[in-house]
A = this chain, B = another copy of it.
Amino acid sequence: MPAIIESSVVAEIPGPLSKAAAKQLDSVWDSRAVYFVADYDKSEGNYIVDVDGNKFLDVYSQIASIPVGYNNPALIEAAKSPEMISALVNRPAVGNFPSSQWHDILKNGLLRIHPEGLDKIFTAQSGSEANELAFKAAMMLHRRKERGEGVDWTHEETSSCIENSKPGSPDLAVLSFANSFHGRGFGSLSTTRSKAVHKLDIPSFDWPKATFPALKYPLEKHVEENAAEEKRSLDEVEKLITSWRFPVVALIVEPIQSEGGDNHASPAFFQGLRDLTKKHGVTFIVDEVQTGFGATGKFWGHSHWNLTSPPDIVTFSKKAQTAGYFFGDRQLVPDKAYRQFNTWIGDPARVIMSGAVVREILDKKLVEQTARVGEVLYAELEKLAAKYPEYIKNLRGKGQGTYIAFDTVDSATLVKSMKKLFVNIGTCGVNTVRLRPMLIFEESHIPTLLAALEKVIESMSLIW
């Protein structure tokens, strides 16, 4: 596959056909966030093609959610399978009337890659929903322990909850970190702390926010400072848990804060969170919506931590092509049926796709590949950073597969210019460029990415 293909249209991204299509779409749909309109039939592997015929190396991957490439043959096969047709046509309320295949779909799909110690699953449809279901499981568990095993609900509880009043609707908090992103539902949004654009004007719960460690780079030059910073954050977390106005029943954290700027912390920090949450009986939820499914060079981001005991809940979505959460503790199954429930409980069609994704990742050893390619990519970026230290700052993600990011001067301009050189790349945080290639990204794609990046930085340094 050519690195950058020739195109008759280079002057304008989005091109005229993309613009016209977006305008037409806007008559029925809010299309203001459209970068370009894609021709998925012509897209393949790591390359996305737009309606103007422009072909981009895609290291953004539908906001980090395409796992194994456009028009992947194994996924096409799954999409054509008889069980897929049935799941699409006979969409079940899986809680009441699961199909005879449902167990095997889960067992031979998502459960093949369940995080260690977390071998039970609840399916959902988005990362946001998965996180809220995790919060609810934590809340029910907290009240179950408080109530005492086997103690029945009181009339006061069941009647007051209908009024949205205590004691049935208690004040219970989920702790999250500054700059985190956990979704946009009213519960998940209350834990999202990254940007005003997500949160403004929306009522939220009075839940605590801890500051995430602000590490200094390069890490090897700031070992003591960073350790002290992580200690400070852990102390703050413990203080919030023990002093908040009402019980903190869950703590949610991303292995790498992604939307909030690709902020990392050390395994020791996360072990500290595991210890604190265990000590205080707080459900430890690891949000692997963006980090899960291999991009960090391990299947799960939290596997880098070598925790002494697993998280209580791990949520997933994006590259899984479906969503949900894994858990181990059977008490996270509520005391009664129908408490954690909804009509569809996920979508078997999407769970079938996730099974095909898992098979492809394992068969082709794509996590191992990502770890290997990531090392090369990081080393190349390190060289470029040495050449343009103003434009590639705080390079991070070493040893984290292709989950690499850096700060720059004007990330919006950089990614816009990259598109003109046919590389589709994304931003996060304030002025951060995040790489989110698919798991099929190879060494051979690195020169294309690096050449475009260097060209853009050169131009920026020239004209600014």
Contacts and interface: CB of A to CB of B under 8 A. Distances in A.
A353 interface: yes
Interface in A8-53: 21-22, 24-25, 27-41, 43, 48, 51
A25 B187 CA distance: 29
A186 B205 contact: yes
Nearest to A61: B93
A164 to B, nearest CB: 4
Interface stretch (A77-85, A272-280, A304-312, A371-379): A77-85
A21 B103 contact: yes
B343 A51 contact: no
A396 interface: no
A33 B163 CA distance: 26
A89 B103 contact: no
Contacts of A172: 201, 203
A54 B174 CA distance: 46
Interface in A179-211: 183-188, 190, 193, 195-207, 209
A98 B31 contact: yes
A85 B106 CA distance: 21
A413 interface: no
B92 A162 contact: no
Interface stretch (A153-161, A221-229, A291-299, A446-454): A153-161
Interface stretch (A136-144, A362-370, A387-395, A404-412): A136-144
Given A96-B63, A107-B28, A79 B84 contact: yes
Contacts of A121: 28-29
Contacts of A207: 164
Nearest to A67: B91
Contacts of A88: 75, 78-79, 84, 349, 353
Interface stretch (A126-134, A233-241, A261-269): A126-134
Classify chain A: how many residues form its interface, as a range: 35 or more
Copies of this chain in its oligomeric complex: 2
Nearest to A169: B204
Interface in A315-336: 317-318, 321, 333, 336
Interface string A57-80: 000001101100011100110111
A120 interface: yes
A106 B189 CA distance: 28
A244 B294 CA distance: 49
A342 B29 CA distance: 14
A48 B337 contact: no
A419 to B, nearest CB: 12
B353 A350 contact: no
A15 to B, nearest CB: 12
A431 interface: no
A111 interface: yes
A28 B106 contact: yes
B90 A40 contact: yes
Given A30-B122, A34-B96, A90-B66, A339 B200 contact: yes
Given A24-B103, A170-B201, A197-B336, 18 more contacts: A25-B98, A28-B107, A30-B95, A34-B98, A35-B97, A37-B98, A39-B100, A40-B90, A62-B93, A79-B88, A88-B353, A91-B353, A161-B202, A162-B199, A164-B199, A169-B204, A185-B185, A186-B186
5 contacts: A30-B337, A66-B90, A72-B89, A75-B88, A132-B185
